[in-house]
Amino acid sequence: MQNQASLSAWPGFVRKAAHVVAAGLLAGLFSVAPAASAAAKSAPAVWVGTWATAPLATDARTAPDFANATLRQIAHTSIAGKELRIRFTNEFGTGPLQINAAHVALSAGNGAIQPGTDHVVTFNGQPSISIPPGALALSDPVALATPALSDVAVSIYTPAQQINVASFHQDADQTNYLVKGDHLSATTLESPETIGSWYFLKGIDVEPNSDKSAAVVAYGDSITDGAWASTDKNQRWPDFLARRLQADAKTAQIGVLNEGIGGNRVLRDGYGPSALARFDRDVLAQAGVKYVIVLESINDIGRLKRNNDPIDAVTAADLEQGLQQIVARAHEHGIKVFGATLTPYQGAGYYTEKGEQIREAINQWIRTSGVFDGVVDFEKAVRDPANPQRYLPKYEHGDHLHPNDTGYRAMGDAIDLNLFK
């Protein structure tokens, strides 16, 4: 009433202007409603990683000949999705990487694809892309529904080009295929060359079936990567974790991304950048990450065997500080970090008593410091109760450092699924 009285006291032209403004504001409110509704309908997909691998650099002279070739690579999904997109990498390349065309399909095994599932992959609507050195590329969404725990075949055709450094992941524990010429649509490949690494392929994301979906990154070295696991059988501990997550309705929406690199260290570059150096690229940049399981330090400890190199002299405090940095950086992004205890290594080629003391100190710190959001006790899962510094023989590959398939299963089974609920 007070506002009406005040308005009526204004001169006529002022009242008229005020009514015009008010009407305009009301019209504006009604006019933006359809636009807002349209924007909501066209909201971008929420992506979650279903498969990933950690790239590093290799001299292209030791790589296969990719000139005028079709490279078909197999990736094993963790969670299902309504559609997918693919991450290609030239992160370690020194020149542009040209991909003339790419396809994706469901794998039928032995390099073949399931009929009727082949889809063209595009980049901003175009069939080809040149990926600059140091960069990665995301494909457009592909309308291919992917089941959980299934094999996807990603095929690329690469022309003749100068590649000095290739971005790849060496120990795939997976057979991939190469043939000369453009055979992207071929259901089967005739007499292909087989390759035990992944080249130029970094990950696969899906638009998940649940709005509660998220991903856990398995972050580590060769024990996470799956050294000596059976080829083409998906027997790494992250694979066993993925199967357990899928078997429980309360966790079936959690994807598992394996970002292990053989020989990786926390504090120093070695075979690939250090865990601290690659953390942003291999963890924070992954789609939908909510959790990380960190199993790192054994290669830092093992370098103590080289007494002639001062840079390899590390202490438990050094490694604890490095792991704490990982936790702090993850927490900045709302990601929970679960610390995994280091598995035994007595009898391994780089075992030392000093290193064993550091390993035990780090494990005690992981269990009791409270730095981590949870603990995964891998050591307890695989150690020999009669000699805790060694693997239980049935879990060991034979080098006293890496598990066998049974050991990897024991590790995957040791993870409390309540961490993800």
Give 266-302 pLDDT, tens digit per residue.
Answer: 999 988 999 999 999 999 999 999 999 999 999 999 9
Give the residue from 165, 146, 180 showing the smallest Cα distance to 74.
146
Residue 225 has pLDDT above 90, yes or no: yes
- Provide the β-strand partners of residue 97: 131
CA distances 32 to 25, 39, 43, Å, are 11, 10, 16
Summarize pLDDT for 226-241 with one digit per residue, the tens: 999 999 999 999 999 9
Residue 137 has pLDDT above 50, yes or no: yes
Confidence of residue 10 (pLDDT cuts 50, 70, 90): very low
* Distance between CA atoms of residues 35 and 39, nearest Å: 6
* Distance between CA atoms of residues 75 and 51, nearest Å: 7
Residue type, 198: W
* Distance between CA atoms of residues 407 and 421, nearest Å: 25
Average pLDDT of the segment spanning 112-135: 98
Give the residue from 317, 283, 279, 284 showing the smallest Cα distance to 300.
317
Helix (H) or strand (E) holding 241: helix 237-247
**Token output for 125:** 């609507």
The neighbour count for residue 370, using CB atoms within 10 Å, is 8
**Token output for 160:** 């003749």
Q: Average pLDDT of the chain?
A: 91
* Distance between CA atoms of residues 202 and 20, nearest Å: 58
Question: Tell me, what's the pLDDT at 33?
Answer: 43
Summarize pLDDT for 25-53 with one digit per residue, the tens: 334 433 444 444 444 445 677 999 999 99
Please state whether beta strands 69-76 and 151-158 pair in parallel, antiparallel, or not at all (unpaired).
antiparallel
Question: Tell me, what's the pLDDT at 309?
Answer: 74
First to last CA, the chain: 55
* Distance between CA atoms of residues 181 and 158, nearest Å: 9
**Token output for 362:** 């780090």
**Token output for 243:** 């199967």
Residue 193 has pLDDT above 50, yes or no: yes
Question: Tell me, what's the pLDDT at 23?
Answer: 41
